[in-house]
Chains A and B, each alone.
Chain A
Amino acid sequence: MSYDLLRSGLEAPICLTWEMTYYCNLRCVHCLSASGVRRDEELTTEEAKRLIDEWAEMKVFYINVGGGEPMSRPDFFELMDYCLDRGIGVKFSTNGTLMDEAAADWVASRDYLDVQISLDGATPETNDAIRGNGTYRRARRAMERLAERGFSFKINNVVTRQNFDQLEKMYALANRYGAQLRLTRLRPSGRGQNVWEKMRPTREQNKKLYQWLLAHPDVLTGDSFFHLSAYGQALQGMNMCGAGRIVCCVDPVGEVYACPFVLAPEFSGGNVRQPGGFAGIWRESLLFAHLREWQVGGTCETCNAYDLCHGGCMAVKHFTGRSLDSPDPDCVFGNAGEPGDARQFVPLGRKSG
């Protein structure tokens, strides 16, 4: 997979995230979208359906649904069925608290539906310190319900310094349910910005994580850790930052961001409510066109691991005040620049109407 292939742009994103609502009944300390309270201007059911129609027309294969807590939307099931009926596969991420018997029945009865339940530790102490009191028990309850129905779900675990030692236990837990473990990188996005320094895995842990991932090819990562491929061997996935190239994110009010971890005005290509809609933004936004052209320069350009790491994650650099042309703060060779040396990313503005 090379940038060159993607320069001209894909007809539609491969990895499209739709954050359905900013409402959430929890307040996880690392929430990438700083969710909690619903916003008044969130897309209505009808607007959401038009958006889904557009995706179907563009032949979007599947979408990742998140939030906030997507299951809190009263039209959640209706909209998910609307996607599935139009041939769009769905994977939704949930904290599990709203997975009652009826919801579990619904999940188990649908084809091409994946469910990802968030759990950030193998013990209540570790998980609840991040996700809130009682959340471990409630997430496990949701898992039980799905497992009882023979449904194979995914457990999503954001890897932190504090839960790192529980990787094996998380893996065993997933296996016990016939589920798949998915590990995600902690990024300083949303509320994650406040906790990133004290929760990001240490260098030692990152190195172990790389080895652990190589030894556990059945563990999913959503391409989160490609910056660790620079240790020598490519981890599974496309090993590149897909922002605006293969990835994008529609937020609850219809803003189209380059990726779910950069919900900031300078990374918005526009709003689905404007003329041209989602497809217009994906195909014509100047920001996305720029991202497709852009390659990390600076130190990384002469690094012999460049083909494996491509300078790491744009979001992590941006929200730690680094230049996008600097190495990833978790650069395996310790080449990361100091925060604050940033020539900040210059927003290119939107393509207007």
Chain B
Amino acid sequence: MINRNRLFSGGLIDRNILIKFKFNGKPLQGYQGDTLASALLANDIHLVGRSFKYHRPRGILTSGSEEPNALVQLGKGAETEPNARATEIELYDGLEASSQNCWPSVNHDIGALNNLFSRILPAGFYYKTFMWPPSMWMFYEYFIRRAAGLGEAPKEKNPSRYEQKFFYCDVTVVGAGVNGLTAALTAARAGASVLLVDEKPELGGYLLNAKSRINNLDTKKWIKDTVKELMALENVTVLNRTAATGYYDYNYVTALQKITNHLPNSLSKQPRERFWRIRSKEVILAQGAFERPLVFSGNDRPGIMMASSAQTYVNQYGVLPGNAVTLFTNNDHAYSVAVDLISKGAKVIIVDIRSNISEKIRKLCEQNKIETYISHAVIKTDGSKKISSITVQELSEDKQSFVGEAVTIGTDLLLMSGGWNPAVQLFSQSRGKLKYDDQISSFIPDVLVDNQAVIGSNNGDFNLKQSLMSSYEAGLGAAHRTGNKQEVENFINDANEPIEFITAEVVPYVLGSKPVTHGSKHFIDFQNDVTAADIFLAQREGYVSVEHTKRYTTTGMATDQGKTSNVNALALMSHIQQKPVGDVGHTTFRPPYVPQTFGAIAGRNVDQYFDPQRLTAIHEWHIDNGAVFEDVGQWKRPYFYPKKVETMTEAVNRECIAARASVGILDASTLGKIDIQGPDAAKFLNLIYTNAWSKLEIGACRYGLMCNEHGMVFDDGVTTRLGENHYHMTTTTGGAARVMSWLEEFLQTEWLDMKVYCTSVTEQWTVLSICGPNSRKLLASLTEDDISNEELPYMRMKEAKVCGVDARIFRISFTGELSFEINVSARYGRYVWDKVIEAGKKFNITPYGTETMHVLRAEKGFIIVGQDTDGSATPSDLNMDWIVSKKKEDFLGKRSFLRPDTAKNGRKQLVGLLINDKKTVVPEGSHIVEEVSKQPPMKMEGHITSSYFSPTLGHPIAMAMLKNGKARNGDLVKIPLMNGKVVEATVTENVFYDKAGARQND
């Protein structure tokens, strides 16, 4: 046999397939079917890692997903996974894993000094010690972060692929133990579509390893037959290696399926994991129960393990983790483990904390020659890297004091069995209510949510035959409620277990050789190193609420979420507080049930798929012509077009001058466009906009401002009347969706009788905005239609053919220049653009981006909603009283103009600023202060909203929101900058260029 602790036969491993792996660099061997944990135990490796706080040596406690101790760093490089549970890692050829939280090695760990100083590292230590002085926190934190922490996150980008799947079915069964299998098969036979998920590779659950019988068959055989039938049914989906991670409202269950994690070649074409989003009409929880550790002094050494897990290692993996075994228990069930181990050649001693054992158990011990210490406790353990001996002593009847002498016994494997805690985490997530059950001394489901069932030991039901009957009923009920009414005969005739779990005699903590609050290490939460003493301390210091105890001691807050520790912590709190456990309550269980990769949650929504990109029809041309892009919402817009050696400033200056001197062209396709039709359209626009729309002629354009009901500006744009009942509205690029929703909201919820229809047409049109003194000449060369100032004056629209393509030409201007916005069907957009560029060459046509657009509009004092406004500016604050109708009875926002706060004096108002030194471009967002002092705080009276160097004027210009701004023309204001410099500026009106508007009107 290649492994020291490997049995010659038995188990579900394949002894014909040898697997090579490395742990901490050491080459080792295991078999197909092993987990990393079982293979390590087979190689007699018990020391796996160091604990979180005290860096104590830790081994393998369990055989499942609840494992708190045996966390390893799995793999290397970009695919490395921290905090992987050795009990859940299936062995594959070439696997490499290493211990975590130790330096320089697991055997010689410097952090273990914390263990020696543990008396000064109690719960809350970090909070108490490192909170003062605040300036030192950064210093302390550096050392804390280095000392704490578990595994290391990969530093490179994750190369794996993850997928997501949405799934709908009648019945989801979580857990494929014998109860889950029974429920799933019943529901399936009744005709329901069934999803069965189980986190293990092998279906069957705990009874794969026990000597129970169902229908007079060995359980293993019964499981095999049942799984075979389920797999063959078309209405059943079976997922192994799939852990249900979350259970939300309306029977929404998420599950993480591991697809290639257990395979050697990670370059497999399959995704690494698949994240399932499951919505089913009925959910049946059959997740089983976790065996509960006992709280005694030194209960955390390598070589101390849960009794049922040892049974699993023996029966499923053919590994006997120790030969001189002591089993410490408070219940009958653990005796069956002893029998299993003895049958494989181990010597087993049982220490039972109970005062009496039943006649049946006594006989069993006699038959199997088991030495028993009844009414005894393990009070001490020894061994540095692995357990070597234990000390036991008899307890008094009340378990509060010792009787007789302590005895030391050599032991290389100490098993503990403190009873069973139903795995109620998912149930609790679903908002099911728990109650404390005195018989099993644990929490069980009490009030279920709709369309849900909990079965088997998950429901606190430990009698095999009864629970299988209930599982049959649950499966049938779920099928019936989902309309699947085929009759299903009860196929459970008989079932029995050699020794059933009925009750446990729970002791909150076991007396040790030292008092529990003084230096003894009764561990409750293994992963977070929380001891019984910490729970005592929390109660003493007033953190008596369960939520406070949890946060103060960090019990239950590690990656295992307290699966092995929570109930023990509550039992101890109940003991200290002298009230029933049920009254202590429990903390909220939160998803995920087991750690879950971010990759799986993200699925394929990464990189370019993270958020949709919106591209205009001209996008390729922008790329070809060297555009630098800027994100505006989801749109990619050209920011500026630098020529080879140009800086951004140089490019923008060139673009600005070209647009004012001859012709500039802007891709304005991203502008929001809404087609509005219906007999009440004009009436509707009158209510939406602040100005009047009734008298707008067909073919005329008008600028409009929209306010919300608080009277604050929230969008603007030009709307054109296309026909009697037909309008074309434009919005800001970023506000298009918001405006559309706003219009729909009032049409659908407030003015239901209005006949108005709104359609988003943003993508349907490509908009080429050409501006500059030569823009008319350029356009005239591309159309045969009359576009003279008489035929197409400022603020008019004309339908015409441009380059032979149907177009709407709008004479509107955001730059202050003579300007035409040519709208053509997006499918002809690029064609027309190319023609315009070609024809524009003789006018030195210059494409410009959003930055130049911003400069040009700022020179004209046009606002940008969202830049010059922040949701707290009224039209009046923006110096735009001219656009607010005095005549209209009502429009959205009007009433709020009269609210005292909106109408008061001293509001911030929009002004222009000329920088006195004629050269500093003040950063946008800078504050204007009343009085400059050496350092902040200074009393602020405004802030800069827009600030540019104006190439046209040759000096900087800015706009600002300034307290009482309208009345302060000519005032000097002061703007302190981050670098300590103070800039002085003069308040002016906010139109800097061509105040009369001759250029755009021409």
User: Do A and B assemble together?
Assistant: no
Query: Which of A's residues lie within 8 Å of B, judged by CB?
Result: none
